[in-house]
Amino acid sequence: MVFMVPIAPFGIYGVVAQGSNGMVSLAYLIGMIGMIFTAFSYARMSEAFPIAGSVYSYAQRGINDSVGFIAGWLILLDYVFIPALLYLVSAAALGDMLPGVPAYVWIVLFIAINTVINILGIEFTARANKIIVIAELIILGIFLAVGITAIIQGVNGADFTMDPLYNDREFSMNVVMGAVSIAVLSFLGFDGISTLAEETKDGNKSIGKACVYALLTVGGLFIIQTWVAALIWPDYNAFKNPDIAFYQIAEIAGGTWLKTLTIVATALSWGIANALVAQAAISRILFSMARDRKLPVILAKIHPKFNTPYISTILIAVISLGVTGFFASHLDKLASVVNFGALSSFLFLHISVVSYYIGKKGSKDYFRHLLLPAIGFAVIGYVWLNLDDLSKQLGFIWLGIGIVYLIVLKLLKKDTSLELDS
């Protein structure tokens, strides 16, 4: 839940609202339905392989080693870059409130805090997450209470209507799915649960359930809060700046204090909470791939006291610092790269379920092991097709680099084998 951020729509509401012709709640509903089928596939594979590595491990064992590497390489594109995206969004929000403080100060502070917490151990991270989630839910509750009161009072022409969920005058499947491809960014993170399988009690049973329950809970919150926001500001084309649209709505509903509260909540939840678990998740994927000799083995090194992959954790901190500097003025490009990596890896996940259970195990449970992943593949594939051209261009460049790296690994392994034979 903390990875998905219960108040995630605060930061991207305006873009999704305009992209969906005002049917922002519908965009989140479709996104949740698509992700539910993906969560089912995570559940199936985590039952079979309760190990760290997420999509990398599942595709490796469900299909083959090479496909597993490519799936892992693609999910790296999501996880490695998403902390930097979160830091930039948070720094921008705080910069609007405190323009005298340079953005890099906030970025370095967030990175340092998250790195220390993650090295101290997953239990410490979990305790921090619980506090953050509770705080987010309280703030969300305040917004909903104030927002619903504003709707009842007719503030800004607000009235109860189904338009945010479905408006036949504005509906277009291509338009809505284009918005879904943006809204899906809010859902990325439920899969991060699977990266902690080796540090979870009853991992093969609890991982899948946690993915599904977290997705349903947070998805429901996304739909409710965007519905309330859309009713308070029905003219989605009248935003002064779509990047801060939600804060404008909060100000109309409750005044400056509510606007400030939502800005601070967004900054801290994205910069600390979300980035915290993102760093924890990707460090486990790096650990898993390094343990399998697909990445430098030093990344599999475990801290002697805290039992955490601290080298991988520190590496992510360094990468995040570099990426934030490179993409400082190109948030849209960075977000595009993140979405391409996540959605592409989800496609491999669905294939893995069918390959492993139907192909390798000869399962006759066609409902769970064929129909559900097929539906998930179709939905995610449709969203993937609606990604913007930039995300596909950058994504395929990353994929090409991964394929070249895989070929080099195989050639080096072959050369090593020949030397041993001689």
- Give the integer Cα–Cα distance in Å for 319 and 325: 10
pLDDT per position as a tens digit, 218-244: 899 999 999 999 999 988 888 877 877
pLDDT of residue 19: 85
Given a contact cutoff of 8 angstroms between Cβ atoms, the answer to whether 24 and 170 are in contact is no
- 338, part of any domain: yes
Residues 6+ apart with CB under 8 A from 33: 379
pLDDT of residue 280: 79
Given a contact cutoff of 8 angstroms between Cβ atoms, the answer to whether 259 and 253 are in contact is no
pLDDT of residue 421: 43
Residues 6+ apart with CB under 8 A from 267: 89, 90, 91, 93, 94, 106
pLDDT of residue 416: 43
Instruction: Pick out the chain residues at pLDDT < 70.
Output: 2-3, 52-53, 96, 121-125, 189, 191-205, 330-332, 414-422
- Which one, of 167, 80, 180, lies nearest residue 386 by Cα? 180
- 50, part of any domain: yes
- 212, part of any domain: yes
pLDDT per position as a tens digit, 5-64: 888 888 788 888 888 888 999 999 988 888 889 888 988 888 888 776 678 888 989 999
Count of CB atoms situated within 10 Å of the CB of 420: 7
- 3, part of any domain: no
- Lookup: tokens for 83: 């902390």
Kindly report the CATH number assigned to the domain that includes residue 248. Answer: 1.20.1740.10
pLDDT of residue 383: 83
For the chain, state the CA radius of gyration.
Answer: 21
Q: Half-sphere exposure (CA, 13 Å, Cβ side) for 165?
A: 11
- Which one, of 219, 216, 195, 203, lies nearest residue 57 by Cα? 195
- 417, part of any domain: no
Domain count, the chain: 1
- Lookup: tokens for 385: 């097709």
- Give the integer Cα–Cα distance in Å for 301 and 118: 14
3-state secondary structure of 159: coil
- Residue 96 lies in domain: 8-412
3-state secondary structure of 235: coil
- 418, part of any domain: no
Given a contact cutoff of 8 angstroms between Cβ atoms, the answer to whether 106 and 91 are in contact is yes
- 166, part of any domain: yes
- 419, part of any domain: no
